[in-house]
Structure 1
């Protein structure tokens, strides 16, 4: 919150806070949170699920339209088999326990990522979550699962090349809009803010194309500790940014929102 006041000022600053249309989050630090407390990594991931419920609730209350959560990357399969198994179990538990609540809150669930290599039980759960909530008009909860941005861009290139080969598309027709339409996220606006917890400051293969004009906010706490106050602090920081998109007109400070 450098340059925007102190923690004591937060209530008054929140009143001036710009609410992004799309907030994307790299939920980092579950394992380190657990290690510092002498707990297992699985216990850290379980506490991370509690934080997921919290940010969904807060996003609804704040009026955020799109919340994208980086839940499982395509590189996470290289983790120990027991940890991957526990993560899959937590995903199943979250969908079974929370889907009805999300549906009742008018939340629409969208899943982005590669599904070709998923086991049928996981793939079916993702489809169920999308199908049950597809007509909802509230918060769009985007789950990036088995997701990697380079993988996404590679499959987009293959798709476009295939269309050219079939004569459906000419090379000259391949523009930024065509690439965006070939991505997993084709129905989702680019994120206004990409937030990462745990103090790490990198994208880790997350939304590389979509992040072209996103603001980055790095929060120095582990994901299980990320609560409403830390979310509001992050959005207050975002509110003070000048978003020029390569031009000279500011957005957040001048227009008061995203």
Structure 2
């Protein structure tokens, strides 16, 4: 796999794009956009310079995702922990976010991209929150792609918030505990309207998920690249897609079951696909590559 990756890195963007199997694209790609600060520090620039350059990467990857056929793109833009950063940096980030949404609304409309924000967004400054609500409303009927920004977001807090809502519904007799299963619980998460990610990309060389989509990443393919987010471009995205397409997603099954999911006598009942009726892998399975 390492040798194959090195070989692919030598190819140009057009050659890489020609190798992509458009029938085997991940429906939902999630990205931890990491490395803005280090990118700036290595160039003796202020951190905000890295964030500004990172916006260019956002624009390019969003547009390219729409062009290539990705249905859902989730970008981890600001975590709950980021509130602990210096107030000047937070203010600059909020300013960049508001400006980005204002400038990109036209692009989203032209490309039929629906925008959503997830997380504890009520903590965001009022002007930013109003801009988010405005863009969400104006793009609500767009159907070509969904762009999700995770803002003031943490995977643990999302699960805790979901549990609180479950408890409230049980107390109000809107939900019975006997009806609570994984599929039902997922409807209480911020991402209830979209499928779980098929591919998660993290830039900058860090190999961890940092409290991002903890529930949703259960069966997601993980891809880590040394490239800092400000330098992440179409070619880097193509390399991630090709790596994803080289993997075999078994969801706990053996090769024979993957090759013939509807066959009997393969270790499972006829028609067993390794997924529940919701389309998610059945509970308790492990994936073996």
Shorter-chain TM-score: what band?
Answer: over 0.9
In the alignment, structure 2 segments of 5+ residues that lack a partner are 260-289
CA distance in 2 between counterparts of 1:230 and 1:95 reads 24
Asked if 1:27 corresponds to 2:33, the answer is: yes
**Is residue 15 of structure 1 aligned with residue 19 of structure 2?**
yes
> 2:128 matched to 1:122?
yes
Match of 2:4 in 1: 4
When structure 1 is superposed on structure 2, of 105-114 and 46-55 the one drifting more is 105-114
Paired residue for 2:232? Answer: 226
Contact 2:16 2:235 in 1 (8 A): no
Q: Which runs of 5+ in 1 are unaligned?
A: 252-258
Supply the distance in 2 between the matched residues of 1:49 and 1:162 (Cα, whole angstroms): 39
- 1:164 touches 1:171 (CA, 8 Å); kept in 2? yes
User: In the alignment, is residue 148 of structure 1 matched against residue 157 of structure 2?
Assistant: no
SS at match of 2:162: helix
| Superposed CA RMSD | 1.6
**2:181 maps to 1:179:** no
Tell me the CA shift for residue 142 of structure 1. Answer: 0.8
**Quick one: which of 177, 192, 195 aligns to 2:198?**
192
Structure with more relative contact order (C-alpha pairs < 8 Å, separation 6 or more): 1
Q: CA deviation at 1:4?
A: 2.8
| 8 Å Cα contact 2:17-2:238 kept in structure 1 | no
Deviation at 1:13, TM superposition (A): 7.5
1:117 CA drift (Å): 2.4
- Please report the TM-score for the alignment, with normalisation by the length of structure 2: 0.83
SS at match of 1:25: strand
Change (3 A) 1:14 1:233: farther
Which structure is larger by alpha-carbon Rg, 1 or 2? Answer: 2
- Please name the residue that 1:74 is paired with: 80
Say which of 36, 45, 66 aligns to 2:42: 36
Number of equivalent positions:
251
SS of 1:116's equivalent in the other structure is helix
User: 1:72·1:147 contact (CA, 8 Å) conserved in 2?
Assistant: yes
Aligned residue in 2 for 1:56 = 62
Instruction: Tell me the equivalent position of 2:169.
Output: 163
The Cα offsets for residues 14-71 of structure 1, whole Å up to 9 and x where unpaired, read as 4244321110000000000000001100010000000000101110111100010001
Return the match for 1:105 from 111, 116, 126: 111
